[in-house]
Amino acid sequence: CEKDPDASATFLSEIVGEPAAEGRVMPTGSILDLMDILAGRVAFNHVGDIVATVSFDHVHLRMPVCHMDLVRVEGRLVHVGNSSLVVRVVTFKHDKQTRSFVETASSLITMV
């Protein structure tokens, strides 16, 4: 029974960083880590087993994320192969002035 790739889509939201560093830019690695965690969840939802990250492709960093920003990471499958999956992950932060989420980063993440 084939699973619908859209059924594996998911998201996570959290306030990131340290209160003592509020307003300072977060390290990019911390944001990539959240993206990796979410891609793993999407892949696990689809295959129901342990997965591993192979690569991050087409990483686009659009704007920095600061400590104590509310971040939302969304992921969905864009390709299912015989032995690998590609997950598109997009990261947003909540802009307090506009009261909306703005895109901060995106990537295609290959999982096996």
Contact 10, 45 (CB under 8 A): yes
Task: Give me the mean pLDDT over the 41-61 stretch.
Answer: 96
Res. 27: pLDDT tops 70: yes
**28-41 confidence digits (pLDDT tens):** 999 999 999 999 99
d(CA 101, CA 112): 31
1 pLDDT higher than 60? no
Whether 48 has a pLDDT exceeding 60, the answer reads yes
